[in-house]
Amino acid sequence: DSGVTQTPKHLITATGQRVTLRCSPRSGDLSVYWYQQSLDQGLQFLIQYYNGEERAKGNILERFSAQQFPDLHSELNLSSLELGDSALYFCASSPSGTHTEAFFGQGTRLTVV
């Protein structure tokens, strides 16, 4: 157990819908990272928050947004969902602002039908 909790574990939704994925980082970790993993694209970095502020941005679509709350948990919002958004979404956390020793959660498997 990495100490990073993601909910829900599985999510099935229809095209055009909006979903929210939640991540609770390890105790004391200030950084939260979101990743998308699909069979054809591999693991892609989406966005990083550090102590509530956006720190780094990857290939995150405009239909996606994220935020980190004062209690340091984070949410990833995916809207106007398309079939191609079906993937595993991982959250990771680390004590500092770098990816060094980032611990990953078990992921949320999103299926868009």
Partner 1 sequence: EDQVTQSPEALRLQEGESSSLNCSYTVSGLRGLFWYRQDPGKGPEFLFTLYSAGEEKEKERLKATLTKKESFLHITAPKPEDSATYLCAVQDSAAGNKLTFGGGTRVLVKP
- Residue 18 touches partner 1, criterion: CB under 8 A: no
Cα 93–21–54 angle (5° rounding)?
Answer: 50
Listed ranges 12-20, 40-48, 65-73, 76-84: which one lies at the site for partner 1 (CB under 8 A): 40-48
- Residue 74 touches partner 1, criterion: CB under 8 A: no
Which of 30, 14, 13, 11 has the alpha carbon at shortest distance from 22? 11
- Residue 28 touches partner 1, criterion: CB under 8 A: no
Is the bond leading into 70 cis (omega within 30 degrees of zero)?
A: no
Q: How many chain residues are in contact with partner 1, going by CB under 8 A?
A: 24
DSSP state of 111: E
Give residues in contact with partner 1 (CB under 8 A). 2, 4, 33, 42-45, 48, 55-58, 90, 92, 98-107
